[in-house]
Every structure is written in C-alpha cells, then in structure tokens.
Amino acid sequence: MPRRRADTTPKSTSAEARRSTRESSVPHDWRPRITNEAMLAEVLERLPGDPGVYIMRDRHGEVVYVGKAKVLRNRVRQYFNGTDTRAFVPMLTKLVGDIETVVVANDKEALLLENNLIKQHRPRFNVKLRDDANYLVLRLDPKSAWPRLELVRNVGHDGAWFFGPYHSARSARQTLRVVNRHFKLRTCTDFVLGHRTRPCLQHQIDRCPAPCVHEVDRQLYADQVQDVRLFLLGREAELVNGLKTRMQQAGEALEFETAARLRDQLHAIEKTLESQQIVGTTDQDQDAFGMYREGGQVELVVMHIRQGKLLQTQCWSQKGMELPDADVMASFLSAYYDKAAFVPDEVVLPIALAEDDEAPLLDWLRDRKGRKVTITVPERGDRRKLIALAGKNAASNFSSRRDRREDSELALQRLQTRLGLSKLPRVIECYDVSHIQGSDTVASMVTFVDGVPEKSRYRSFRIRGVRTDGNEGTLAQGSRQNDDFASMYEVLGRRFQRALSATDRGDEDDAWSLPDLVVIDGGKGQLGQVLAVIGDLGVPIGAEGVDVVALAKERKDIIGRGRDAVARLREQRQASAPAVARDAPVEIVERVGESDGDGDDEPADTPELVQAAEHAEQVESEELAAHEADASDPEQAPG
C-alpha cells in the first residue's frame, strides 16, 4: 500500500509496516513539514480524494492520531476549518507537525489498516487495547489426529477453532480446567503423545482415553471434540440434547457402561451450566456493550450472551481519553473484534455510531462471520435492559478501580514515609537471583505500578558471567555464574544500561524507563552491588533518579542506602506493601508461569512465562512416565 505525505507518494516496505512497537515510530530522517499556516494550507491542498487512513504526527515525529475516511481530503480538512467540533480537536491541531496518508480500495480496508496502525504506533488520542501478546485464547484443531484444547496467544488462520480472547489469564485457565474435567480429551503435547509408551495419570483418573497407547474409537473421540466446541460456544441446548441422544442410543444397544458414562457427564455439565444467569429472551448470540465515563477515564464492558444466557463479562479501562463517546465506542469495537475469535449475530450498543464508522464495521464483521451481523441501539425492551445491565457493570468496575487507586495512593504514601524515600514509589522493581545447585543462574525482575503487579513488564535475565561496568565484554575478576553478588551487578548493569540508552535515543518506552524504587533480595552485600553499578554507570539516584532498598534477615529487615535497617516488616502480609513486593521476585522464580492476579483487570502472564510453564508441563509428563515405568518394571529401573 502506498504510504505518503500529503504531497508525495513514496512507497513503504512491508518490513517498515511491521516494525515492533518497541522501536521508535519516528523515521530516521523525519522533519516537521507543518510549521506555519502557509505550509499547513499547502499540505491540505495536496491531500488525496480517495478512501484511506491519515496519520498525524506531532512536531517531534511521534504519531498522535490515526483515523480513517471515505474521502481523505474532506475529512482531514474538517480538523482545521472548524467543522469538527470534538473537544480534543483544538489540542490535536496545535500539536500536528505533519500528516501522512495511506490510500486504500474501500472503507473496509481502511478500517483494517487503521486497527493495525493504532496497534503499531499506540497514538495518544486513539483508543488502545493491550498488546495481543497479553491475551489468551483457547485453540482446538479438529484436523488433528487426536485434538486437544490448548492455550495460545494469537488467533491463527489454520482452520482450527479459537475461543476468546480471555481478558484474564485466570479465567482462561479455569475454563481449560473445567473442560479437561468434564470432557475426555488428551491434555499432553504432540511430543509427549508421540513418545509415550504407557498411559499417564489423566487416563488413570478417567479423564483421557489414552490415544497414545490404546486403541480409541475415533468417532467417540470426535463426538467429545464437538461437545467441547458446543460447550465453549455456549450452545447449552444443542450440547445437552446431543448427550441425551447418545446416552439413549447406548442404552438401546445394551452398552450400559457407555450410557452410564454419558449420564455422569451430562449431570456434571448441567450442574456447571445451571450457574449461568439468564439475561435474554432470544436464541441469537449477542454481545452487549456498556460504557461509564468521568472526564478522560472510561470504563468499557462487554457481556457475551449466548442463547439468552450470560456466558462471560469482560471489562477494559482507558485513561486520558479525549475522544467523544461515539468515537471511543467505534474505535473500541474495531480493536476488540480484531482480536475476538467469535463474532455474534447481534452487537447491542448504548450509543449510536457515526454512519462512516458503522457501515465499514458491519461489512467487516459480516465477512468474518460469513453471514449478516446487526448493530442495535435499543430504546426499550429486553435489549435496553441488557444495555442498562452492561452500563451498571461498567459503573461498578469504574468505582472499584477508583477505590483501589485511592487505597494504593495511601499505601504508597505510607511506604514513602516509612522507608524515608525521596519520592512516591509509583514504579517499583524487585530483583532476585536464583540458581540450581550453583548452575543455570537466572534473575527475575517484577514490576509494580501504583501498587499493582504489571506483568507485561516482568523480565527474566540469563546470567552471562559478565560485569556490565560500561564494557559489555569485560569479565570481572573471580566472577562466576553462581556468584550472586556478581550476578546482581550484571543484571542491574544490563537493566540500567537499557534505560540510559533509551534516554539517549529519546525513546519514551515506559517498560525500560528508570523505576522510582528498586527492591533487592539479599541484604547489605547485594545492596552494595547495586550501589556500585549505579555509581559506575552514573545512574541518577534519589529525587532525580532511583531509590534502592534491600531485604535482609529472612526478608524481615529493610536496609536503605545508609546500610542500616530502616524498617522491619510486620508479620501481617496484608498490612505491608513491601511484603508483597518482597515475595514477588521469589515467587516468579519458584512458580514460573503461575498467575498471581485476582481479577479481570490483571494483565495476563507474559509469553516467556507461558512457554516456561509449557516446558515444565512436558518435563513433568516425561518424568511421570519414567516413574510409572520404573514402578511397574523394576528390571528397567536405572542402576
């Protein structure tokens, strides 16, 4: 696609279009083209009259707004001639240093490109959802010889069935556990399936037919796969009727064991489904959206209703939102369904969308679903009650978040006073070094933002045995992988170098900016290493930089820069914010991949942690198989 400034048409490469959001979005040779009224008039005059997407950059080259239009020339000019009366427009137009356009064939292509550019650049004035990597979806591939339900990060186009996304990693894993408990599908990886020689524990507790080693009826297994699909889609009536039919057929064929198994499965599923709330009177699949707003703080809720029953509720919070409600909803819908694995028959909204937004959205949703999708803004009746319920949920979530923010603010103020910190510790990074019998040394970093774990900023470091004192290749004298002091020096050196390099480049990536407080598990010795690397690299400390504390004496004393204990942790964990920060770096090493969130507002685990958890699961399965082999055949035991 041709990306161009208003008066030129240079082509952009596909590699440029797929640049990582961690890299700067400012072209290397970029210069502002709009510095006065005359230059603005010239740019506006040369805008194309085609459908497409416009990209507004500020005078530093950062993308501040991305929009779409049927006629680019007419739409962009509205920002500057007073026709667009939205409250944020005057602020936006004062910032604009250049306008780029991308011409496409139609409105639907413009919508898709707008979504991709917003995800790539994350502009200040657009609605932004979390990065795709932070969402989990369930994947079930019916083409596999023996399908299994698994957690993945992205919706693929490989013919598999996808369910989600799940805003909370905990809810996704809970759903997976429910399916594994009630439906007999394998849970092992393809590698384990192909190499196992004996049935696993899942078979012994009657949760898997063990296709790895036993002859399994493929039709019965395929029936289970279809049942899982119906269960996850909320097709309760179809699922229950199918189980009843198969149970009756088994009884008539005198297959009483099969009939009994289907009966037990049916009762368990009905018990699980009976807790779902009935909120609608239609058999259509619906998504009902709610919104609550106070100034720039917006709470959005989507209720997934399948055949009249509430299947799931998800919520999102947006901060610093300048767009009006209709624009917020339109942007959110396109971003949400870009990630969603399922498109409903009807989308129920509390406010009407602009025609230019609704028409391409409907075309896109119809293409994704394969049949007609409707958007409804009800004024009365059952659908209006759905919208009211969604709005009530949004207001409740907004209030809960606000209360948590206020509680967090007070806790941070107490923490600052108690530890004698130079500023409020809004961003806290906690570090711990761990190794296995002196080898395989790793360090973990967990981050708290306003007192809440920020899992997207969790990091793990593989120790290289190198001291990063400004010369990345210089080995420290006597440095070894199992030297915790040298390891701490290396980790903090690498981390601070990343922050200083980003500052030098003008990169404002929050994930690598300096924290307000660094918490070290290890006492005075580890604290000395941190202070040494701070001094070697010239990292600012105190009010203009970072504060540092260390934990000593079984993690009960907090030691400040003066090397004296400045506070003692109380035994009651709920009363002590440092206690939470204290245990987090240890838990992430000891329980890799396990979520410590407690609600849908918690970010999902990072991809690295999920991969580690999957590896641990594979190792556990292999060890279990070996243990079972040893127990059943003593002659095969080692030694």
Concatenating the DSSP letter of every residue in 435-472 gives EETTEEEEEEEEEEETTEE-GGG-EEEE--S---SS-T
Whether residues 116 and 151 fall in one domain: no
347 within some domain: yes
CB 54 within 8 A of CB 73: no
Q: How far is CA 140 from CA 129, 268, 391, 414, 563, in A?
A: 25, 22, 33, 49, 55
DSSP secondary-structure letter at 595? -
* Domain count of the fold of the chain: 4
Distance of CA 336 to the CA centre of its chain: 12
Whether residues 593 and 446 fall in one domain: yes
Whether residues 255 and 380 fall in one domain: no
Q: Which of 273, 293, 315 is the last residue of a domain?
A: 273
Question: What are 410's strand-pairing partners?
Answer: none
Whether residues 441 and 336 fall in one domain: no
Q: Which domain holds residue 317?
A: 285-400
Whether residues 84 and 47 fall in one domain: yes
Kindly provide the b/e burial profile for residues 112-122, where b requires at least 16 CB atoms within 10 angstroms of the residue's own CB: bbbbebbbbbb
- 92: nearest Cα among 104, 102, 80, 101: 80
Q: CA-based Rg of the chain, rounded to a whole angstrom?
A: 28
CB 306 within 8 A of CB 234: yes
635 within some domain: no
Q: Would you state the pLDDT for residue 25?
A: 59
Identity (one letter) of the amino acid at 219? Q
Whether residues 84 and 110 fall in one domain: yes
356-362 long-range Cβ contacts below 8 angstroms, 24+ apart: 356/69, 356/70, 356/107, 357/326, 357/327, 357/330, 358/330, 359/107, 360/68, 360/106, 360/107, 360/108, 360/110, 360/111, 361/111, 361/330, 361/333, 361/334
Does residue 636 come out as left (phi exceeding 0), alpha (psi in the -120 to 50 range) or beta?
Answer: alpha
- For residue range 63-83, list pLDDT tens digits in order: 999 999 999 999 999 999 988
Report the C-alpha gap between 330 and 316 in whole angstroms.
Answer: 14
614 within some domain: no
Whether residues 104 and 232 fall in one domain: no
SS3 591: coil
Q: Which of 126, 151, 168 is the last residue of a domain?
A: 126
Angle between helices 107-121 and 325-339 (to 10 degrees): 90
Domain CATH number, residue 381: 3.30.420.10
407 within some domain: no
279 within some domain: no
Give the tokens for residue 498. 């990343």
CB 375 within 8 A of CB 353: yes
E runs forming strands in 86-226: 96-103, 136-140, 149-152, 161-166
Report the C-alpha gap between 86 and 94 in whole angstroms.
Answer: 14
CB 156 within 8 A of CB 140: no
Whether residues 430 and 548 fall in one domain: yes
Q: Would you state the pLDDT for residue 569?
A: 45
Whether residues 390 and 435 fall in one domain: no
Whether residues 75 and 93 fall in one domain: yes
459 within some domain: yes
Backbone angles phi, psi at 325, to 5 degrees: -60, -45
Whether the bond into 165 is cis, omega within 30 of 0:
yes
629 within some domain: no
**Geometric angle at alpha carbon 589, from 574 and 618, rounded to 5°:** 125
613 within some domain: no
Whether residues 267 and 290 fall in one domain: no
- For residue range 313-369, list pLDDT tens digits in order: 888 888 878 888 999 999 999 989 988 888 999 999 999 999 889 999 999 999 999
Report the C-alpha gap between 146 and 221 in whole angstroms.
Answer: 8
Residue with tokens 């934990």: 551
Q: Would you state the pLDDT for residue 441?
A: 81
Low-confidence ranges of the chain (pLDDT < 50): 1-24, 132, 466-482, 562-566, 568-578, 580, 582, 584-639
Whether residues 386 and 269 fall in one domain: no
Q: Would you state the pLDDT for residue 1?
A: 44
Domain CATH number, residue 85: 3.40.1440.10
Report the C-alpha gap between 136 and 158 in whole angstroms.
Answer: 17
CB 587 within 8 A of CB 301: no
Q: Which of 110, 126, 142 is the last residue of a domain?
A: 126
